[in-house]
Structure 1
Amino acid sequence: MNEYGQIFLCTDGGIYRSINSSSTWEHLELNTTRFNTIGTIYINSSQLLLAGSDFGIFRSTDNGNSWSIPGSSSGKDIRAFTKDSSENIYAGTYRDGILISQDFGKTWNNFALSNISIFDIFIGSNHQILAATRDGIYRSMDGGATWEFSNIANMTFKDFALSSEEDIYVCADYAIFMSPDYGKSWNQLNYFGPYLEDIYVNDDNEIFVGTASGVFSSYDKGLTWNQFGMEGKLILSLKQDSLENFFAGTLGKGLFYLEKGGTDWVEENIGLSATTIRHIDINSTGDIFVTTDAKKISFSIDNGETWIDSYISPTQVDAIKIDAHDNIYISAESGVIRSTNSGNSWNRLNFDVSPYFVSSIEINSDMTIFLGTSTGQIYRSTNDGVTWINITPIGTNGFVNTMAGAGGDKIYAGIGSFLYYSQDNGNNWIELDVGVNGTIRSLAAQPSGTIYAGFWGKGIFRSKNDGNNWEECNEGLEDDAVISIQIDDGTGNTFAAVTKSVYQYNEESRSWIKISDGLRTLFLRSLAISPEGYLFAGTQNYGLYRSSKIVFRKPLPATYFLNQNYPNPFNSITTIEFSIPQTGFTTLTIFNALGQKVETLIADHLEADSYSIRWNASGLTSGIYFYRLQSNNFTDSKKLVLVQ
């Protein structure tokens, strides 16, 4: 925080600045094509900012509006900044010791402790220097000319804090130490709490620590400790402003604020996206469902503009799959939960692999359910999840990372570094030889026999004949760590997510075209295609991104068609799909068994396209109903059965 009260936030996606006490945030452009993790920042009173990244130092002299990169720091992994009374600035690095700048960060030179990782630096008023390292603390009493090493404990030492009484505190992995004599001797405090990340001591000598499970405080110099909120969150950084309000930076949960004297921490993430999106799937009407690292299932019915939490699990939620009838299956609680009403309620299937978990879910066109587990097993249910049989290929060893149906009874499974194929719903398997050794992270298949296999660190391979022959398919990719491959069923458009970029395959040039403008992340987790032709990308710590424009358009329908609603019979909610090849006034109307109009779902001028409408009949009684589509000179009706 600078003297004007502006707050600067270091993240694994660059630097954010708030000029209104964290109410809103703006992302600062660092003038680099590389996506940098910013781990530390230095601020002085003349609008000088230094940002330490995993690939060097960024320097700004105008409060972060523009940045330059001192060449002498390039390639260094910067972990800490501090300065001495002569305005010399010191930087602690990973495996490159301490650097020094004597010209306000314009140039940098090696200073001391070469080849040692330095996680924090403390400089006293009389040239004392302390350096926190992986194995202990280095101490110099002559401005860095000579050093002595204190092997206090076999831990990584992370952060220093100075009290108003000139006592120095340092936190290590699971312990806190205090020195009354500038590091000559150290006393361990009475702390036996969670794993430590950061320490802060205020002017009243009250100690606060950020841990793997919230904030803890001590008001008696470390004799006793109490939880200070933020339970269950990993706290990476703690700071107090001039008004004694607290700010806590977390891993994957963003920034939180605690007003002086308050007890409730408030999330301060407007302009920040701090959620890890583990998996995404999108139903036939365009509703988006995601699983997050906050153990939540959330959904959006407005293309990602707003979100509703549908389910909070006691354990991590992960894989997600939506079937042809818009039933949603999600890996949770060492098994699978399912919603048949668009996420309004959830029921657990009769499947449990405790203490392990379901790592992959696939559902084929005849509604057969396949579950892959973290133990390398594959299970199948042909009766809606009531009973299961083990259909694991013989001799497998690994983690079922991915499965892909290819129409009919065809299914592929990536288990560790092996790819298996079955033409009979998993009764028999054959191992496919892709010609490369690596972990299979993603599969995407089509009924035509085309199959894409994405490997971690090996790129993408493709077969056009059910896996009998393979070709490398990496032209245009700038990264070979594949996260996800998705094929749009209607058009055949193919997309791939690698570590931090998204690509679309161009069949004519036989190469991948990068389409990542505006996507800011160090690590992608998932990819999905909406019925409207938008791409959605889930990221590590930076939420969900939507493509700024439609990436493809589906061909217009050739004929009028009214599909049978699904599910049918149904309980409260069902989906009706129809296609119109010509623009015109269109109505979709519900009637009861007596022919009386119950509800008009559509009465509007519609463009030629395919449509999907969800009908909520929760206010009606059980019985037989009919729905009728009229558009131009076309009319068709079908029967539906409501069972409340």
Structure 2
Amino acid sequence: MTNNYSQCSNRIYEFITNPQADKNALRVFCYDKRDKIVMKFLRVFLFLMLFFCGELHAQQWVQIPMSFSTGDTFLFGLSASFATKNIGWFTPQNGDLYKTTDGGYTWNLQLRKSGFFFNILALDSLHVWVRYGGYNKWVVFTTDGGAYWDSTFIGPGFSHYYGPLVFFNTTEGLLFDSILFHTSNGGNNWYVKNSADSLFFRRAGVGDFINRQKGWIGGGNPIATDVGYIAKTDDSGKSWAYSGYPTGHPIITGIDAIDTLLVYAVGFFPFSGTGVVRKSEDGGLTWNSIFLPGSGWPLDMKMLDSLTGWICGENGKIWKTTDGGNTWVIQITNTDVILWKISLLQDENVIYVFGDENTLLRSDIVASVRGNDGYPVSYRLYQNYPNPFNPMTIIHYQLYGHGFVSLKVYNMLGQEVAKLVNEMQDAGYKSKVWDAKGLPSGIYFYRLQAGSFTDIKKMVLMR
């Protein structure tokens, strides 16, 4: 379609000719020049809206079709762990142990037992430990990526072979059973670390240590009670104490410690079906609660850093935070199966989520670049999240050096509608929450100025 224009006085006549018709079809529009400027503006606005909607609703999580060398399909899995973005291990409900070397597309059988494998821990592509249970409890392990597997007997009985495995390096680790064991030779031998037959250990399902001395475990009994617990040690597991209030936590299904003070946990209250995040900024002395939106029990949690993290759970749910756990947004996964395990490969900027019915989801992570001292090596303005939003969104940015910083928001007419930052700031990773309450839906621009650095990004307020 071609456009031809002829001008008459202060009016413009637009002749739109369709060369594909048998004869030219002529339409005449008569409008003021000012109207034409408005029409151009509206065309640009609609184009940007369509562009943004297409970009924002692009699939973030890719489902990988899992193919097993035995030809089997499985209703659910019991544990999984990736060591690199290509190498990982998975065990389904039938007691087999599989390995992938192509990022989860094909899985080759490595071990077959009469019992069940639980709690796979892949420290790297060579060193892997797996809890194994049946009539007795064992730990199977490999130091060559699974070419050869060894095993160590832990004790008799069915109880609690799903307790956490924690390794600090290739030789030192902890195993939570009805009592606490430790190893100093990579799992060849396990010795009693704490012989107290404690509910801390019997009901522990998850755990995380920030160093050899300080760590947290959590769990509960969803059948016997509606509450769980978090326990803390400062002496490598020799002694434990309740972290926070002893009977007020949900059933804990995930713990991730960022440092000695900042700790995240996630769980659910089974009778109400409510999912909740616990966040402590004082090493577990006190905890704040953030309730998750939507229905479904959360089952695992992984934090990338102090700001960004993910939770997976029932009904195909993945929640994501980019503001330190204060708000959680449900992701689009295109599945409704139970998602029960997260493998976060921070060094390779990849995250995997395992689920029932041979479900494996993958997403790439956009990571910030840090120097050796932990500070940014450049200035950067990140895309706001969530986007589209209503009415609040978070803007993250990073500063390379100390200086005056300006962060402002503008509407489509270039008018300033919000001044978020207008002050001197030190180098580091920053964030600001913008509340667009009272403003109309549409496209807005936010502009960061720091020294000679300037960047502008677009966001959509959609009510």
TM-score by length of 1: 0.41
Q: How does 1:22-171 map to 2 (within 5 A)?
A: none
**Match of residue 469 from structure 1:** 286
Paired with 1:363 and 1:462, the residues of 2 have a C-alpha distance of 24
**Match of residue 341 from structure 2:** 526
Q: 1:455 aligns with which of 267, 278, 284?
A: 267
Q: Contact 1:443–1:485 at 8 Å: present in 2 too?
A: yes
Q: Determine whether 1:387 maps to 2:198.
A: no
Paired with 2:280 and 2:213, the residues of 1 have a C-alpha distance of 18
Alpha-carbon displacement from aligned partner over 1:90-120 (angstroms, at most 9, x marks no partner): xxxxxxxxxxxxxxxxxxxxxxxxxxxxxxx
**Match of residue 248 from structure 1:** none
Q: Contact 1:276–1:538 at 8 Å: present in 2 too?
A: no
Quote how far apart the aligned CAs of 1:312 are. 1.2
Query: For the aligned residues, what is the CA RMSD?
Result: 3.0
Q: How does 1:221-620 map to 2 (within 5 A)?
A: 274-284=74-84, 286-323=86-123, 326-333=126-133, 334-359=137-162, 360-365=164-169, 367-373=171-177, 376-385=178-187, 386-391=189-194, 395-396=198-199, 398-416=202-220, 417-434=228-245, 436-457=248-269, 458-474=275-291, 476-479=292-295, 481-488=297-304, 493-500=308-315, 501-507=317-323, 510-521=326-337, 523-530=338-345, 531-540=347-356, 542-547=357-362, 549-553=363-367, 555=369
Residue 499 of structure 1 aligns with an amino acid whose one-letter code is E
Residue 105 of structure 2 aligns with an amino acid whose one-letter code is E
Q: How does 1:624-635 map to 2 (within 5 A)?
A: none
Cα 1:534–1:512 change in 2 (3 A) is same
Cα 1:516–1:405 change in 2 (3 A) is farther
Q: Contact 1:358–1:371 at 8 Å: present in 2 too?
A: no
Residue 502 of structure 1 aligns with an amino acid whose one-letter code is I
Cα 1:284–1:483 change in 2 (3 A) is same
- Structure 2 unaligned residues grouped into runs of 5+: 1-69, 221-227, 270-274, 374-463
Quote how far apart the aligned CAs of 1:338 are. 0.2
Alpha-carbon displacement from aligned partner over 1:565-595 (angstroms, at most 9, x marks no partner): xxxxxxxxxxxxxxxxxxxxxxxxxxxxxxx
Q: Contact 1:454–1:460 at 8 Å: present in 2 too?
A: yes
Paired with 2:92 and 2:287, the residues of 1 have a C-alpha distance of 35
Q: Contact 2:219–2:253 at 8 Å: present in 1 too?
A: no
Q: Contact 1:420–1:432 at 8 Å: present in 2 too?
A: yes
Q: Contact 1:418–1:431 at 8 Å: present in 2 too?
A: yes
Paired with 1:326 and 1:468, the residues of 2 have a C-alpha distance of 37
Q: Contact 1:485–1:494 at 8 Å: present in 2 too?
A: yes
Quote how far apart the aligned CAs of 1:533 are. 2.6
Paired with 1:290 and 1:552, the residues of 2 have a C-alpha distance of 26
Residue 462 of structure 1 aligns with an amino acid whose one-letter code is K
Paired with 1:496 and 1:515, the residues of 2 have a C-alpha distance of 10
Quote how far apart the aligned CAs of 1:315 are. 0.5
Q: Which has the higher helix share?
A: 2
Q: Give the match's secondary structure for 1:511.
A: coil
Quote how far apart the aligned CAs of 1:365 are. 4.7
- Structure 1 unaligned residues grouped into runs of 5+: 1-265, 560-644
Q: Give the match's secondary structure for 1:311.
A: strand
Paired with 2:241 and 2:166, the residues of 1 have a C-alpha distance of 18
Quote how far apart the aligned CAs of 1:480 are. 5.8
Q: How many residues are treated as equivalent by the alignment?
A: 284
Q: Contact 1:396–1:415 at 8 Å: present in 2 too?
A: no
Q: Contact 1:532–1:553 at 8 Å: present in 2 too?
A: no
Quote how far apart the aligned CAs of 1:323 are. 2.5
Q: Contact 2:83–2:122 at 8 Å: present in 1 too?
A: yes
Paired with 1:493 and 1:508, the residues of 2 have a C-alpha distance of 6
Paired with 2:154 and 2:307, the residues of 1 have a C-alpha distance of 34
Quote how far apart the aligned CAs of 1:348 are. 0.2
Q: Contact 2:171–2:184 at 8 Å: present in 1 too?
A: yes
Cα 1:366–1:492 change in 2 (3 A) is farther
TM-score by length of 2: 0.55
Q: Contact 1:505–1:511 at 8 Å: present in 2 too?
A: yes
